[in-house]
Amino acid sequence: MNKDIEIEFSEKAEIFKALAHPTRLFIIHAVKDKIMLVKELTKLVGIDISTMSKHLDILKRHKIIEGKRNKNFIYYRLAIPCVLDFMSCAMKVISKK
């Protein structure tokens, strides 16, 4: 495999790593149709704010979600809706087991 191909597939693998946690998948599901505050997500998931912030940071770093600050609040939304296609595909794989 040449270096360009290796870089391309390494970048794709990083996206899968970002999605490879149940909490992050749940966050994506939660913000798919609405904008949510960190406090709302934390309550919904049932984890502390520092843990939630780490999950959100991973998703933001890979541009899967985005946060918009308004005064003291950060509102999160899904930035890449096509990630839901992956989740739909994953459900098809699960149903074939």
C-alpha neighbours within 13 Å on the C-beta side of residue 8: 5
Binned at pLDDT 50, 70 and 90, residue 1 comes out as confident
**What are the structural domains, with CATH classification, of the chain?**
3-95 (1.10.10.10)
pLDDT of residue 97 exceeding 80: no
Q: Taking the mean position of all CA atoms in its chain, how far away is CA 59?
A: 4
Binned at pLDDT 50, 70 and 90, residue 96 comes out as confident
Q: Is the pTM of this model over 0.75?
A: yes
pLDDT for 64-80, tens place per residue? 999 999 999 999 999 99
Give the single-character DSSP code of 2. Answer: -
